[in-house]
Amino acid sequence: MASEKVVESVLVGNYVEMETEGKAKDVKTRISNLFWHGGSVYDAWFSCASNQVAQVLLTLPYSFSQLGMVSGVLFQIFYGLMGSWTAYLISILYIEYRTRKEREKVDFRNHVIQWFEVLDGLLGKHWRNVGLAFNCTFLLFGSVIQLIACASNIYYINDNLDKRTWTYIFGACCATTVFIPSFRNYRIWSFLGLIMTTYTAWYLTIASLLHGQVEGVKHSGPSKLVLYFTGATNILYTFGDMPRGRQKVIFSKGILLFFLHEESLGFLFITFGFACTPLYFVWEKAIGMHECKSLCKRAAARLPVVVPIWFLAIIFPFFGPINSTVGSLLVSFTVYIIPALAHMIIFKSAAARENAVEQPPKFLGRWAGAYTINVFVVVWVFIVGFGFGGWASMTNFIRQIDTFGLFTKCYQCPPPQLPPPPPHLNFTAVAPSPAAFQHGFNHP
């Protein structure tokens, strides 16, 4: 009947919320839903796009300078396909876990399902512990990288303060993410971030077409094997989850400086929040605060997560080296190897494959094709990403520490301009005669 309130479960992001049909929404609720309460397909698209577009855009100059143009394009395509495949595997495993648990009458209302819980439910506690260790460490340093990136980007716009001081400032700003409950509450930031990144990308593209390149510029490929595998690992990280890169571009146009500034602020909040929010959830579950209704209590409980990230960003401000190190040692397992291995083990039996919630695509060869791709991903990423990439990134990281030290005030900043030397003054003086000296000695 029309007068009856029909209640249905609606999946919103990682939450199950109870919505009531037929309930009138006031203006305050509509405004809140517009700017705050996301969770639709469009929000998911904006969140992914605002992160990935900016990450790929900012990573390209740094990675291509180490790889060369040809290798850079090939690795972009190759790791883009590989990252899309493992993202598909992770989504399949999430769906499989949730479906199995809901058949057991498990209620996920007000509970965010995380990757380590999926591994625990499908493969047991040992897989859970391994996944939790890799994922938390990855997210921790991913947040550190974002703080360093914000300080570095804003420094090239305003160098009145050094990078370490900007890290202090952005660390304080990032601490406000403790008040944002979940990913779906980044709706307005994701939308603005995508607009600002798109504007900046098109501005740089049009400006490069109109003005061309600087006279005398030389294009060169990779000069060292270490740099080559470091760049390849950065691309691996790009399509893993939280890539970072560096782009030293300064324009005198006020509007572009505004958008670059706002873009840095937007991805303080967006990318840092997306990297740190899973850590918030893990910490909340560990101390029993995850299902707390009070936003202020949850925010206070999250503060111990932000402080170590802030501290590490000040100790190791090595943006590029940390980026490649995290990609080779952590992303290689978290995003590529573990999902591929988990997918093969979970569906190794004929019964599991037959009862799977979703079958692999037919155009890829169903299960035989899926297993072939998974084996290739595991072998390639372990040898090239973890092996060669780990060697190259750790060598580069240690070299940066030896060169710049820890707690460096302004990593890779241009040296300060010394004031010009004072003009050389020539004075003509008349030397005293010997008689004058003699005269001085004869008279007291």
Per-residue pLDDT reduced to its tens digit, 391-402: 888 888 888 888
> At residue 349, does pLDDT exceed 70?
yes
Within 10 A of 39 (CB to CB), how many other CB atoms are there?
A: 20
The listed range with the strongest mean pLDDT (6-20, 149-163, 327-341) is 327-341
Phi, psi dihedrals of residue 347, rounded to the nearest 5°: -105, 30
Average pLDDT score over residue span 28-37: 65
- Between the CA of residue 159 and those of 143, 153, 246, 410, 415, what are the distances in Å? 23, 10, 16, 10, 12
- Segment 185-202 shows an average pLDDT of 75
Choice among 33-37, 413-417, 438-442 with the minimum mean pLDDT: 438-442
Secondary structure (3-state) at 11? strand
Q: Which two tokens stand for residue 223?
A: 């000069």
Residue 50 is predicted with a pLDDT of 65
Question: pLDDT band for position 417 (50/70/90)?
Answer: low
pLDDT, mean of residues 279-287:
88
User: What single DSSP character describes residue 159?
Assistant: T
> Do 279 and 136 form a contact (C-beta atoms < 8 A)?
yes
Kindly report the pTM of this predicted structure.
Answer: 0.71
- Residue 337 is encoded by which pair of tokens? 């190897």
Contact at 8 Å (CB) between 55 and 242? yes
Band the pLDDT of 337: cuts 50, 70, 90: very high
The overall average pLDDT reported for the chain is: 75
> Which residue type, as a one-letter code, is found at position 18?
M
Per mean pLDDT, which range of 111-115, 145-149, 245-249, 336-340 is the poorest? 245-249
CB neighbour class for 264 (10 Å; exposed up to 12, middle 13-18, buried from 19):
buried
Asked if pLDDT for residue 325 goes beyond 70, the answer is yes
- Rounded-to-integer distance, Cα 262 and Cα 286, Å: 35
Q: E strands of 13-91, at which residues?
A: 15-20
Mean pLDDT of the region 350-364: 90
Residue 300 clears pLDDT 70, i.e. is over it: yes
CA R_g for the chain = 28
**H/E segment holding residue 245:** none
Distance CA 385, CA 234 (A): 10
Q: How confident is the model at residue 340 (pLDDT cuts 50, 70, 90)?
A: very high
Residue 375's CB is within 10 A of a number of other CB atoms, namely 13
What is the Cβ-side half-sphere exposure of residue 407, based on CA atoms within 13 angstroms?
A: 1
Q: Which residue has the higher pLDDT, 385 or 31?
A: 385
Centroid of chain to Cα 15? 23
> How large is the average pLDDT for residues 402-426?
68
